[in-house]
Amino acid sequence: MPIITLVSGIFCDKQSVLDKLVAESNYTVINDDAVVEQVATISGMEARKIRRAYSVKTSVFNKFTHEKECSIAHMRLAVADIMAEDDLIIDGLSGHLIPQTIDHVLRVCLVADMQFRVANAIESGVASEREARRRIGEADGDLAGWVNTLFSKQDPWDEELYDIVIPMSSMNADQAQDIISQNLSKEVLRKSNISNTAQRNFLLASHTEAILCKAGHDVSVEADNGAIRIHINKHVLMLGRLEEELKRIAEEIPGVKWVETQVGKDFHKANIYRKHNFEAPSRVLLVDDEREFVQTLSERLQLRDVGSAIVYDGNSALEIIKEDDPEVIIIDLKMPGVNGIDVLKQVKRQRPEIEVIVLTGHGSESDKQECLNLGAFDYLQKPVDIDHLSDVLKKAHENIRKKSEQG
């Protein structure tokens, strides 16, 4: 039987349709949570960080960590592995990862207008009208961001992405299930040698891309009967050296017979290819109201492969730690609003795993002792030697790694 992928807006009666499909067949449902769980197993990444790849919100550190791209690469591999089984319904955004070249997949989308969705949420007791509209807006925004990331399309309901788009505003779950079942029997969805080959190509390409990602590379991969084509989508100053490294890694992968590299469509844009350096901290949050100083500091750290983001006050720093995952915070003591010591206290209370380095030009010996007693990793004075600061950051990064291994 063909594989079904089911993408739906929230409050479009998807669960009823799913229940009826399962009741009428031997299909097994694999949802995005199951994909995330498998990705966590094969990659060693945290599930909550993997799940964030589905969201339109991206970590402020992502340009250094490539976390979203690496999560998606491993999602492709997880989906490719899952597709080894027959009679599957892949429920959620993960179904978009299956290439259109694989023919034995019925791609289904459930949609409905806002009035239907809000009424459905209220009638089921899930949410008030206001809450329903908020949740619909957030979910649709995430879906739009996901589709834009994968296909560079702005419309998540674009009919080119699906075989069937079912308007749930004008039909019930029985009718939707009947439409899907009727289409499953079409000859075009039967497995063929061509479709099976496309599935094997998807698995090899996904495997290669995941391995390259683990080595710190952000590239896309195509496969054709053992021939691998690696697309370099960002400008790089030493292209030949990068191509040699990518080929060397890919050629060692079982099933790979031949490797070619080529620059992708975004190669000539201004962004620069940056291989992720796992030995250097890539999630450093700089907190200082001296804008020129902190911007210069960020640039100098990036030259040393240290990924950093900047905020200019303590309140912004506290907002970041609620939504993101800095490893190290470098903070000034004297700032308007919430000062450095207050930020240090709250960070150590809310997120004790984050290391905090105080970097100040105004502190006293008693300030230093207080900060260290509160759990600061180090206390440094401005102006700071950049090589010394880099060494302190590497020690903090190593300390975090050891704690992670022990915990």
Length reported for the chain: 407
Topology (CATH level 3) of domain 284-406: Rossmann fold (3.40.50)
Q: Is the pLDDT of residue 319 over 60?
A: yes
Q: How confident is the model at residue 276 (pLDDT cuts 50, 70, 90)?
A: low
Closest by CA to 143, choosing from 159, 135, 155, is 155
Who has greater pLDDT, 80 or 303? 80
| pLDDT, mean of residues 375-382 | 95
Vertex 198: Cα angle to 105 and 8 (nearest 5): 30
CB contact at 8 A, 72 and 53: yes
Q: Is the pLDDT of residue 304 over 70?
A: yes
| pLDDT, mean of residues 36-42 | 96
Q: What top-level class would CATH report for the domain 3-189? A: alpha beta
| pLDDT, mean of residues 361-382 | 93
Q: What's the pLDDT at 29?
A: 97
Q: Is the pLDDT of residue 395 over 60?
A: yes
For residue 51, the surrounding DSSP H or E stretch is helix 47-51
Positive/negative CA dihedral, 171, 177, 182, 183: positive
Task: Encode pLDDT of 108-130 as tens digits.
Answer: 999 999 999 999 999 999 999 99
Task: Encode pLDDT of 172-195 as tens digits.
Answer: 999 999 999 999 989 989 999 999
Domain ranges of the chain: 3-189, 215-263, 284-406
10 Å CB burial of residue 387 (0-12, 13-18, 19+) is exposed
Residues 6+ apart with CB under 8 A from 356: 328, 329, 331, 343, 344, 347, 348, 375, 376, 377
Least confident of 202-216, 231-245, 389-403: 231-245
Which residues lie across from 106 on neighbouring strands?
A: 4
Task: Encode pLDDT of 192-234 as tens digits.
Answer: 999 999 999 999 999 999 999 999 898 999 999 999 999 998 7
Residue 47 tokens read as 């599930």
Q: What's the pLDDT at 354?
A: 95
CB contact at 8 A, 200 and 83: no
Q: Which amino acid is at 172?
A: N
- Under DSSP, the state recorded for 27 is P
What is the pTM for the complete model shown? 0.87
Residue 366 tokens read as 């008693």
Vertex 257: Cα angle to 256 and 259 (nearest 5): 80
10 Å CB burial of residue 316 (0-12, 13-18, 19+) is middle
Q: Is the pLDDT of residue 13 over 60?
A: yes
Q: Which residue has the tokens 């993101």?
A: 324
Q: What's the pLDDT at 63?
A: 85
| pLDDT, mean of residues 50-58 | 94
CB contact at 8 A, 279 and 304: no
User: Angle at which helices 114-123 and 129-151 pack, to 10 degrees?
Assistant: 130
Q: Assess whether the region 3-189 and the region 284-406 belong to the same CATH fold.
A: yes
| pLDDT, mean of residues 258-282 | 70
Bond prior to 156 in cis (omega within 30° of 0):
no
Q: What's the pLDDT at 362?
A: 81
What is the overall mean pLDDT for the chain?
A: 92
Q: Is the pLDDT of residue 242 over 80?
A: yes
| pLDDT, mean of residues 62-85 | 94
| pLDDT, mean of residues 350-362 | 93
| pLDDT, mean of residues 90-108 | 97
